[in-house]
Amino acid sequence: MAIRYTDEFRRDAVRIAATSGLTRPQAASDLGVGLSTLNKWVQRHQHDDLISGPHEDVEKENTRLRKEVRLLREEREVLKKATIH
């Protein structure tokens, strides 16, 4: 008898396959699904919004990353000035 996966699991699997940096065979193995199954899900859901639901966590992460980039740029400028003089 075939295993039935929930829609939520399928969406999460597609998101992982698309954004994790793993190869599809690695992602399929980690998720415990067949490669052909994962490929079918990805093909079927390739146009779906991969980040569905609340975006609060994404917004918080973007804010944190912007602060980090600003700090790193300031540090870089200080180091550039130190090497010139």
pLDDT given at position 51: 54
pLDDT digits (tens, 9 = 90+) for 17-66: 888 888 999 999 999 999 999 999 999 887 665 555 566 777 888 888 99
Rg, the chain, Cα only: 20
Angstrom distance (rounded) from CA 76 to CA 80: 6
Angstrom distance (rounded) from CA 54 to CA 71: 28
Closest CA to 64 of 76, 74, 75, 72: 72
Asked: is 1-52 a CATH 1.10.10 domain? The reply is: yes
Domain boundaries, the chain: 1-52, 54-85
- Look at the pTM and tell me if it is higher than 0.75: no
Residues in Cβ contact with 35 at an 8 Å cutoff, skipping those fewer than 6 apart: 24, 25, 28
